[in-house]
C-alpha cells in the first residue's frame, strides 16, 4: 500500500484523450463522455421520473451533498455564515439538496459545539435557511416546483464534541479494538444502553416532526462515516436487541421510521449510507518525516481478525469491501418505504482517502496511498452495482466526484446516461464552485479558476478549531485571518 506512485495532476491532462489514457494506465473502470453536453442533450438536465418527493418531481440529476460548516451558534442555531452557505446551495441549480448539513437530533450528539441542532427552539432559523435557499434558487432559475430539500438527522456517536472544540465526549455502539484509543473511549459506560437507544429513537422522531413543520421535503437518517447509526450497522459484538444479527443491527432504522409514521408524520425519508468501509489508516511512520506526512497505510489489524468492526468490509482482509450486507440494507430500505438511498463510503476521520479522494490530505490525515482517481472509481463502481439491483422506486445518489475536476461533467454525464446512478451528488466542488454543473449544462464549459483542487482546507480548518469553508478559492474565506493560520498548520505537519 505504501509503495510510492507517480501522481498525475488532473489539470495536466489537457484533453479527454489524455484523461482516458491516464485512467487506462491505472487499470480502473472510469468511463467518460467525449465532451460536455448542454441543455436537453445533457442527461443531467433530465428530471427524475418514477418517484416523487413530497409530491414533487425532481427537476435534474445533480444534488448537493450535506456539508457541515462548524459555524452555528452554541445552542445550535443558524448564523449569517450558515445562511450564506444555504443560499449558495440554492444558486447551484441542483434540484436536490440532500440534507444541507448534518443536524444533531439532541445537544449531546453534536460533532462540534457549533453544529446545528434540529429542535423546537431552532425552528425559526431552520425555516429561514430553507426559505433563503428557495429564494436564491427562484431568483436564478425561475421555479422551485421541482426542487426538493432534505434535512440530515444525526447523532455523532464516537465523534461527539458537543461542548468544547477540542474535547471528545464519545458515546459508542460497541468497544472497538482500534478506534477506541484514537477517540478516547476508555470505559464501557461510554457504550449506549438499550434503554438509552429507545430515548434516542424518540429524539429522531421529534426531529423529523420539526423538519416537517418547517417545510423540509424529506429527512435523511444518516448512516455513514462512522457516526452513530453507521456504527450500529457493524455492532456484531454487541449483545442484546441492537447488536449481533443483521436484523438487530438495523433495528434502530426500522424503529425510527415506524416511530415517525406512528406519530402521523408523512415526511419522505432518505438514508445516507457508507456503502463499504475499510480498516482505519494512518501515515506510514517509516516514510513520514518532520514537515511531511507519510502515505497512508492500514493500522495493524492482525490482532482483530476476523475483522467484524466495520460495515460491508471483507472480514478476512479489511482493506477490501464485501457488499453482501449493503445489498441487504438497500432491500430493507425499499421495504421500509425509503425513497432515496445516498451512497458514500468509509469515514473522514479514519480512512479519508476512500471517503473523499484528494491530492492534498487534511492535517490529521496522510498522503494519498493510491491515485485519488482509484478512490473515485471505487465509489462509482460500487454505486453501479447497487443501482443495478435497486428497484426503480428507490432513487440512488452517488458521491465522490469532486476530485474529477475538469472531467467531472464528462464522467457525470456518462454515469447518469448509462444508468450507473440516478443522481450525481456534489460535495467539496460546490463549496468552491456552486454553479459547476449549471455552467456545464448551460455553457458547455467550466470556469477553470473556480474548480476545487482538493486542497482539503475545508477539512483541515475544522480539525483545528476553525469554521469550514473553501479558504483557497472562496474570497469570503480567503479574506479571513484563519487562512494564514491554516497555511502555517499545513506547512508544519506537511499536509
Ligand X SMILES: Cc1cc2nc3c(=O)[nH]c(=O)nc-3n(C[C@H](O)[C@H](O)[C@H](O)COP(=O)(O)O)c2cc1C
Residues contributing to the site for ligand X (CB under 6 A): 65-68, 101-102, 152, 222, 224, 272, 344, 356, 399-403, 426-429, 458-459, 468
Q: Quote the CA–CA distance of 453 and 472 in Å, as a whole number.
A: 9
Phi, psi for 219 (deg, rounded to 5):
-120, 145
**Omega prior to 306 cis, within 30 of 0:** yes
> Are the C-beta atoms of 382 and 321 separated by less than 8 Å?
yes
Q: Quote the CA–CA distance of 352 and 344 in Å, as a whole number.
A: 11
- Window of 72-80, 272-280, 382-390, 450-458 that interacts with ligand SF4 by CB under 6 A: 450-458
Q: Is 444 in the site for ligand SF4 (CB under 6 A)?
A: no
The residue sitting closest to ligand X, measured at its beta carbon, is 427
Q: Is 457 in the site for ligand SF4 (CB under 6 A)?
A: yes
Q: Quote the CA–CA distance of 252 and 258 in Å, as a whole number.
A: 10
> How many residues contact ligand SF4, by CB under 6 A?
14
Query: Residue 453 touches which of ligand X, ligand SF4, none (CB < 5 to 8 A by kind)?
Result: ligand SF4
- Bridge-partner residues for 151, per DSSP? 219
- Least Å distance, CB 20 to ligand X, is 21
> Are the C-beta atoms of 81 and 477 separated by less than 8 Å?
no
Q: Is 446 in the site for ligand SF4 (CB under 6 A)?
A: no
CB nearer to ligand SF4: pick between 329 and 403: 403
Length of the chain: 495
Q: Quote the CA–CA distance of 397 and 273 in Å, as a whole number.
A: 10
- Grid cell of 200 as nine digits: 434516542
Q: Is 238 in the site for ligand SF4 (CB under 6 A)?
A: no
Query: Residue 272 touches which of ligand SF4, ligand X, none (CB < 5 to 8 A by kind)?
Result: ligand X
- Window of 152-160, 314-322, 407-415, 449-457 that interacts with ligand SF4 by CB under 6 A: 449-457
Q: Is 320 left (phi over 0), alpha (psi -120 to 50) or beta?
A: beta
Name the nearest CA neighbour of 386 among 234, 270, 275, 258: 275
CB nearer to ligand X: pick between 66 and 72: 66
The bridge status of strand 56-57 relative to strand 52-53 is antiparallel
- Grid cell of 65 as nine digits: 451533498
- Least Å distance, CB 62 to ligand SF4, is 16
Could you identify the residue written with the cell 445562511?
83
CB nearer to ligand SF4: pick between 301 and 455: 455
3-state secondary structure of 103: strand
Query: Residue 455 touches which of ligand X, ligand SF4, none (CB < 5 to 8 A by kind)?
Result: ligand SF4
Q: Which of 31, 244, 259, 472 binds ligand SF4 (CB under 6 A)?
A: 472
CB nearer to ligand SF4: pick between 203 and 468: 468
- Least Å distance, CB 161 to ligand SF4, is 21
Q: Is 364 in the site for ligand SF4 (CB under 6 A)?
A: no
CB nearer to ligand X: pick between 238 and 386: 386
CB nearer to ligand SF4: pick between 289 and 475: 475
Q: Is 380 in the site for ligand SF4 (CB under 6 A)?
A: no
> Are the C-beta atoms of 67 and 427 separated by less than 8 Å?
yes
String of contacts with ligand SF4 for each residue 398-437, x by CB under 6 A: ------------------------------x--xx-----
CB nearer to ligand SF4: pick between 442 and 478: 478
> Are the C-beta atoms of 48 and 422 separated by less than 8 Å?
yes
CB nearer to ligand X: pick between 344 and 351: 344
CA distances 131 to 105, 115, 156, 297, Å, are 21, 20, 27, 45
Applying CB under 6 A, the residues found at the interface with ligand SF4 are: 428, 431-432, 452-458, 470-473
Amino acid at each position: 500500500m505504501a509503495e510510492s506512485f507517480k501522481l498525475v495532476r488532473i489539470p495536466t491532462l489537457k484533453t479527454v484523450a489524455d484523461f482516458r489514457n491516464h485512467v487506462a494506465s491505472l487499470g480502473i473502470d472510469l468511463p467518460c463522455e467525449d465532451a460536455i453536453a448542454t441543455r436537453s442533450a445533457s442527461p443531467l438536465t433530465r428530471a427524475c421520473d418514477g418517484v416523487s418527493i413530497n409530491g414533487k418531481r425532481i427537476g435534474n440529476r445533480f444534488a448537493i451533498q450535506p456539508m457541515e460548516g462548524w459555524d452555528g451558534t452554541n445552542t445550535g442555531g443558524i448564523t449569517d455564515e450558515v445562511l450564506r452557505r444555504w443560499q449558495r446551495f440554492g444558486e447551484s441549480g441542483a434540484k436536490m439538496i440532500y440534507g444541507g448539513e448534518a443536524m444533531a437530533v439532541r445537544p449531546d450528539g453534536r460533532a462540534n459545539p457549533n453544529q446545528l441542532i434540529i429542535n423546537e427552539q431552532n425552528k425559526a432559523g431552520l425555516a429561514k435557511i430553507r426559505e433563503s435557499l428557495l429564494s436564491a434558487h427562484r431568483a436564478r432559475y425561475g421555479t422551485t416546483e421541482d426542487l426538493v430539500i432534505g434535512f440530515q438527522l444525526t447523532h455523532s456517536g464516537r465523534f461527539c464534541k458537543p461542548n468544547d472544540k477540542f474535547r471528545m465526549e464519545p458515546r459508542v455502539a460497541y468497544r472497538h479494538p482500534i478506534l477506541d484509543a484514537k477517540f478516547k473511549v476508555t470505559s464501557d459506560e461510554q457504550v449506549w444502553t438499550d434503554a438509552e437507544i429507545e430515548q434516542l429513537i424518540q429524539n429522531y422522531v421529534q426531529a423529523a416532526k420539526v423538519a416537517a413543520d418547517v417545510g423540509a421535503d424529506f429527512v435523511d437518517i444518516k448512516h455513514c462515516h462512522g457516526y452513530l447509526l453507521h456504527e450500529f450497522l457493524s455492532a456484531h459484538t454487541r449483545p442484546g436487541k441492537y447488536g449481533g444479527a443483521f436484523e438487530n443491527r438495523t433495528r434502530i432504522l426500522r424503529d425510527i421510521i415506524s416511530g415517525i409514521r406512528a406519530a402521523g408524520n408523512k415526511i419522505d425519508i432518505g438514508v445516507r449510507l457508507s456503502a463499504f468501509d475499510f480498516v482505519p489508516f494512518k501515515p506510514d511512520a517509516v516514510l513520514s518525516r518532520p514537515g511531511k506526512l507519510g502515505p497512508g497505510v492500514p493500522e495493524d489489524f492482525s490482532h482483530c481478525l476476523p475483522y467484524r468492526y466495520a460495515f460491508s468490509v471483507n472480514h478476512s482482509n479489511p482493506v477490501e469491501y464485501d457488499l453482501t450486507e449493503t445489498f441487504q440494507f438497500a432491500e430493507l430500505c425499499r421495504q421500509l418505504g425509503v425513497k432515496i438511498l445516498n451512497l458514500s463510503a468509509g469515514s473522514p476521520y479514519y480512512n479519508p482517502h476512500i471517503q473523499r479522494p484528494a491530492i492534498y490530505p487534511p492535517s490529521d490525515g496522510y498522503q494519498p496511498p493510491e491515485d485519488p482517481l482509484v478512490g473515485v472509481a471505487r465509489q462509482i463502481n460500487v454505486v453501479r452495482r447497487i443501482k443495478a439491483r435497486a428497484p426503480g422506486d428507490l432513487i440512488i445518489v452517488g458521491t465522490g466526484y469532486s476530485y474529477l475536476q475538469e472531467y467531472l461533467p464528462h464522467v457525470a454525464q456518462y454515469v447518469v446516461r448509462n444508468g450507473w446512478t440516478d443522481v450525481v451528488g456534489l460535495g467539496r466542488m460546490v463549496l468552491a464552485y456552486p454553479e459547476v454543473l449549471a455552467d456545464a449544462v448551460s455553457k458547455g464549459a467550466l470556469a477553470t479558476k473556480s474548480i476545487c483542487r482538493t486542497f482539503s482546507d475545508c477539512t483541515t480548518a475544522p480539525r483545528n478549531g476553525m469554521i469550514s469553508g473553501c479558504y483557497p478559492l472562496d474570497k469570503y474565506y480567503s479574506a479571513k485571518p484563519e487562512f494564514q493560520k491554516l497555511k502555517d498548520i499545513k506547512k508544519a505537519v506537511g499536509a
